[in-house]
Amino acid sequence: MTGLTLSNLSVYRGPCPVVEDISLNLHPGECVGLIGPNGAGKTTLMRAALGLLPHKGTSSLARLSTAERGRAAAWLPQMREIAWPVSVETLVGLGRTPHLGPGQRPGPRDAAAIAAALARMDLTDFAARRATALSGGEQARVLIARALAQEAPMLLADEPIAGLDPAHQITTMRLFADLAAEGRLVLAALHDLGLAARFCTRLILMQRGRLVADGPPAEVLTPDNLARVFGLRAYMADTPDGPVFQPLEVV
Ligand SMILES: Nc1ncnc2c1ncn2[C@@H]1O[C@H](COP(=O)(O)OP(=O)(O)OP(=O)(O)O)[C@@H](O)[C@H]1O
């Protein structure tokens, strides 16, 4: 399984860097939450890491050929629009594209990956439904399933649980933690710091394009970082159910 190495990665929008000199080593088996306020640079960092944006410095993923990248990493962008009125199963099946040769039709291995992805996202009963006729949260789950069907060793996801109901937020985060436990690398931009604290093995905190903290959740979600970066005061406790985090007040 492969990891992701970023070395001195910077992205400029005009003269100003919106991601500035970030170096990171992300390893298989890690479920990494990328956190930071709006505009911190989370999306820009992930898109540059994927080679979707011009950047300075290097990303091990961006250096791969397009075909290799399709097999190495699944990408779930923030904007989720399903434009084609195809069935859920067909749409999830698009995740198999990097595994098919030119003109090659999907086989039993692909069908099994699609069925597993549908089941993992609680969508088996939706397989024959038209994807455009689903609710926003259901469509979000379909797009996560498409990324899972890709069976890539890395999953990069931009706010993957936004718009999901609480139960599906928890099951999706648990799924990401399970994927990491299976040996994949998951990097997800998250605004729900409580779920990030509960399910991520590591948090990377960004502010104004820079990396300001990197480590286990308890070491990153400190009162000082929360006040300085998010302008927040929060309650955080270790409980038998794991860490509990609740933002309390803007400071
Ligand atoms: N196409 C663009 N042209 C110019 N500036 C941009 C463009 N896209 C993003 N930016 C700027 O880059 C900075 C980082 O944006 P980015 O989308 O990476 O932040 P983010 O941390 O993902 O934010 P959010 O939590 O709101 O999704 C912001 O200041 C944003 O205004």
- This model of the complex carries an ipTM of 0.97
- Strand 4-13 to 16-26 pairing: antiparallel
pLDDT band at 83 (very low <50, low <70, confident <90, very high): confident
Q: Is beta strand 56-59 parallel, antiparallel or unpaired with respect to 4-13?
A: antiparallel
What span, in angstroms and rounded, lies between the C-alpha atoms of 186 and 48? 16
Assess if residue 50 is contained within a domain. Answer: yes
Residue with token string 């962008």? 77
pLDDT at 124 over 80: yes
Model confidence band, residue 240 (pLDDT cutoffs 50, 70, 90): very high
Q: Is the CB of 16 under 6 A from ligand 1?
A: no
pLDDT at 169: 92
What is the Å distance from ligand 1's center to 44 Cα? 6
What average pLDDT does the segment 114-135 reach? Answer: 95
Structural domain tally of the chain?
Answer: 1
Expressed in angstroms and rounded, the spacing between residue 19 Cα and the centre of ligand 1 is 9
Residue 45 CA, closest ligand 1 atom number: 18
Of the given ranges (24-28, 79-83, 204-208), which has the lowest mean pLDDT?
A: 79-83
Predicted pLDDT at 225: 97
Q: Identify whether 166 is part of a domain.
A: yes
Distance in Å, CA 160 to ligand 1 centroid: 17
Q: Which of 20, 35, 44, 187 to mutate to test the pocket of ligand 1 (most atoms within 8 A of CB)?
A: 44
**Atom nearest to 14 CA in ligand 1:** 4
41 lines ligand 1 (CB under 6 A): yes
* 214 Cα: distance to centroid of ligand 1 (angstroms): 21
94 in a structural domain: no
Rounded to two decimals, the pTM is 0.94
Residue 98 lies in a domain: no
- Whole-number Å distance, alpha carbon 99 to ligand 1 midpoint, is 32
Q: What is the mean pLDDT of the chain?
A: 94
User: For position 81, what pLDDT does the model report?
Assistant: 79
pLDDT digits (tens, 9 = 90+) for 171-185: 899 989 999 999 999
Q: Above 90 in pLDDT, residue 137?
A: no
1, pLDDT greater than 80: no
Q: Which percentage of the chain shows pLDDT scores above 90?
A: 86
Of 20, 43, 53, 207, the residue with max ligand 1 atoms within 8 A of its CB, to mutate for a pocket test, comes to 43
Least confident range of 9-13, 165-169, 207-211 = 165-169
Quick check: CB of 39 below 6 Å from ligand 1? yes
| Inside any domain, residue 114 | no
Residue 215 lies in a domain: yes
Q: For residue 41, how far is its CA from the centre of ligand 1 (angstroms)?
A: 6
- The alpha helices in the chain, defined as continuous H runs, are 42-49, 66-72, 88-93, 108-120, 136-149, 166-181, 193-199, 217-220, 223-225
Structural domain containing residue 226? 4-83+152-250
Examine residue 122 and state whether it is found in any structural domain, yes or no: no
Confirm whether 102 is domain-assigned: no
- pLDDT band at 102, cuts 50/70/90? confident
Length of the chain as a residue count: 251
The more confident residue out of 149 and 168 is: 149
More confident site: 87 or 67: 87
Report percent pLDDT > 70 for the chain: 100
**166: burial class by Cβ within 10 Å (0-12, 13-18, 19+)?**
exposed
Query: Which CATH number does the domain housing residue 186 bear?
Result: 3.40.50.300
Helix then strand then coil, in percent of the chain rounded to 5, is 40, 30, 30
